[in-house]
Amino acid sequence: MKFGGRALRLLILFSLIPCPLCAQVTAERLLHANEEPQNWLTYSGSYSSQRYSALQQISATNVKNLELKWVFQAQSLQKFEATPLVVDGIMYLTQSPNDVVALDAKSGRVFWIYHYVTSPAARPCCGIVNRGVAILGESLYMATVDAHLVAIDAKNGHVLWNVKLAEPAAGYAMTMAPLVVKDKVIVGVAGGEFGVRGFIEAFDARTGNQAWRFDTIPKPGEPGHETWRGRDWEHGSAAVWVTGSYDPDLNLTYWGTGNPGPDWNPEQRPGDNLYSDSAVALDPDTGKLKWYFQFTPGDPYDYDSVQIPVLANANWNGSPRKLMFWGNRNGFFYVLDRVTGKFLAGRPFVKVNWASGLDTNGRPVLTPQPPGVPTYPGIQGGTNWYSPSYSPRTGLFYLSTWEDYATIFSGVNTEYTEGQRYTGGANTSPIPGAENPLGTRQGPINVYTEALARGAVVALHPETGKPAWKFDMHDVNTSGILTTASDLLFVGGREGYFQSLDAKTGALLWKQNLGGEIIAGPMTYLVDGKQYLSIASGNGLFTFALRE
């Protein structure tokens, strides 16, 4: 067959267009991601976000034989918060600010790197970070710190489309890994310290065209707007900066929303401030709100509810039920019915004094502390955005915590100025002159944190909210958690140790000092019959497997 000039041009043209028929990762595969544990297809491992793997080659008896197989050194000194994806032996990872890297998951050798040039106007509040990509077909999707969503060819790192969601100079940013549902890519915006108006937005995965947008603060005339005074809603924040979850049977996506703005001065925004500090359930086809549950109405403490919604089907009072587990920054562990959003139970998992408990609807019974008196938990919360885990084998919910941690809050009137911080006050440590523990460690030395807070991995019985066990750490714990079908739990921490615990008892089975703070979540995959574990520490991604 002989190609003429036009035919040749058409062939070249078609070769440049992503081919849906030769898709690498179909929407169907994403639905059943937990059935192919050799891969890690979404940020949290599956749509239920349990960060649980069915792999069991690494077990309690051989975990001591783990050894380092390879290291990827990020070309960045920013915090490394990413969880990689692994698809059929290829790893897709992000490094700050917004580079995507494709590697051989077996050797760590790099196939290609896509460099995204961020706008100098970008001003993410808390570090130029990115937590990972999503995949559909042969395309990768990355949200950027200057509030763009970019589609990239997974084979060569070539840009397919690039859309701008909001103005970075106004404080809008994106740090989350996107969530792909069916044919759409869904993301949310950060900017809760800049008085943005938060939103979740969906795009056609093929074209980048907007599909829908859900504003996390209702405008005049919309239900929930009555929870705002005057024009406070215009800069009321409620940002969304951690990946949501999805229940295909209910066709609902679940997202956590952040603090109302300004953070620490509720007098500037009286009311419940919906839908800040809430779980929202959205139809992924339309963006319509199905239900919401607000954890911290009118929040004066910056208790973002941007935790990962963990979905589980389990017995509740003896009957099977579709549940949602939520270890909240405000110090309470919640169980919700994810069909309706109904509050089922809630109990503190750390010391709490801002509320004496939750009423029958899950609304906190407030006990605000007098001026100058410490509030528990402190500003970073009893936990934060770090990925928790749920093991259907043990039936336990695992989360990283800050124990006995408090902050003295004080609100100050603050005028909104676009692009400037809009936090409305100050927070100080309960020990005069001592620095509040930071959300991130700025070096390897720690001689003060334990006086102000300690860390732990806590395993909770979801039915009661009571701990099954607790693994104490000297420093506060900022790590995500992974559990496996061999009843192992993997967790890092700010001290730089990567640890394996017995998921049933909390006993330490193995540890390795990686030398840099761990603020990402571990993940696992299988290549050529060998199970690997990857975790970001400091500025490197470390990958382990059993000794040959």
Partner 1 sequence: MRLRRLSLRSLLRGAAICAALTVPGKAAFAQGQDRAPQYFQSDIQYGAQIFTSQCTSCHGENGDMIPGVNFRAGQFKRVISDNDLRFTITNGVPGTAMQPFTFGASELTGIVSYLRNMGSFNARGLLMGNATRGKVLFDGAGNCVSCHAINGRGPRVAPDLGDIGTLRTAELIHRTLLDPAGSMLPANRPVHAVTRDGTVINGRRLNEDTYTVQLIDEQEHLVSLTKKDLREYTVLKSTPMPSYKDKFSSQELADLEAYLLSLRGVK
Binding residues for partner 1 (CB under 8 A): 125, 193, 408, 410, 412, 414-415, 417, 420-421, 423-428, 431-436, 444-452, 472-475, 493, 495-497, 511
CB of 173 to partner 1, least distance (A): 14
Nearer to partner 1, 512 or 534 (CB): 512
C-alpha–C-alpha distance, residues 366 and 271, integer Å: 14
CB of 375 to partner 1, least distance (A): 13
Preceding omega of 97 cis (within 30 degrees of 0): yes
- Angle 178-478-502 (CA atoms, 0-180°, nearest 5)? 100
CB of 384 to partner 1, least distance (A): 16
The residue from 302, 359, 404, 487 that is catalytic is 302
Select from 206, 96, 202, 210 the least CA-distant residue to 161: 206
CB of 435 to partner 1, least distance (A): 5
Nearer to partner 1, 325 or 409 (CB): 409
Select from 425, 422, 411, 442 the least CA-distant residue to 517: 442
Give whole-number Cα distances, 395 to 109, 315, 322, 490, in Å.
Answer: 38, 10, 14, 16
Q: With contact defined as beta carbons under 8 Å apart, do 358 and 365 qualify?
A: yes
C-alpha–C-alpha distance, residues 509 and 500, integer Å: 5
C-alpha–C-alpha distance, residues 437 and 454, integer Å: 10
Select from 257, 302, 329, 301 the least CA-distant residue to 478: 329
CB of 168 to partner 1, least distance (A): 17
Residues in Cβ contact with 542 at an 8 Å cutoff, skipping those fewer than 6 apart:
68, 71, 498, 514, 534, 535, 536
CB of 477 to partner 1, least distance (A): 10
Annotate 306-328 with DSSP letters as a single string. -SPPEEEEEEETTEEEEEEEEE-
C-alpha–C-alpha distance, residues 432 and 446, integer Å: 18
C-alpha–C-alpha distance, residues 62 and 42, integer Å: 27
Nearer to partner 1, 226 or 472 (CB): 472
C-alpha–C-alpha distance, residues 518 and 205, integer Å: 32
CB of 127 to partner 1, least distance (A): 12
C-alpha–C-alpha distance, residues 39 and 366, integer Å: 45
CB of 495 to partner 1, least distance (A): 4
Q: Which residue has the tokens 């801002």?
A: 354
Q: Is 250 exposed, middle or buried (0-12, 13-18, 19+ CB in 10 A)?
A: middle
Q: With contact defined as beta carbons under 8 Å apart, do 355 and 367 qualify?
A: yes
Nearer to partner 1, 341 or 425 (CB): 425
Select from 123, 126, 157 the least CA-distant residue to 142: 157
Nearer to partner 1, 8 or 412 (CB): 412
DSSP strand pairing (134-136 vs 110-115)? unpaired
Name beta bridge partners: 25.
Answer: 137
Structure tokens at 527: 């290549």
Nearer to partner 1, 351 or 421 (CB): 421
Is 302 annotated in the active site? yes
CB of 543 to partner 1, least distance (A): 23
Nearer to partner 1, 459 or 527 (CB): 459
SS3 of 223, please?
Answer: coil
CB of 412 to partner 1, least distance (A): 5
Nearer to partner 1, 265 or 273 (CB): 265
Q: Which residue has the tokens 């939520």?
A: 326
Nearer to partner 1, 3 or 448 (CB): 448
DSSP state of 210: E
CA-based max dimension of the chain? 85
Nearer to partner 1, 99 or 263 (CB): 263
Residues in Cβ contact with 485 at an 8 Å cutoff, skipping those fewer than 6 apart:
52, 53, 54, 55, 56, 393
C-alpha–C-alpha distance, residues 243 and 240, integer Å: 8
Residues with a catalytic annotation lie at 302
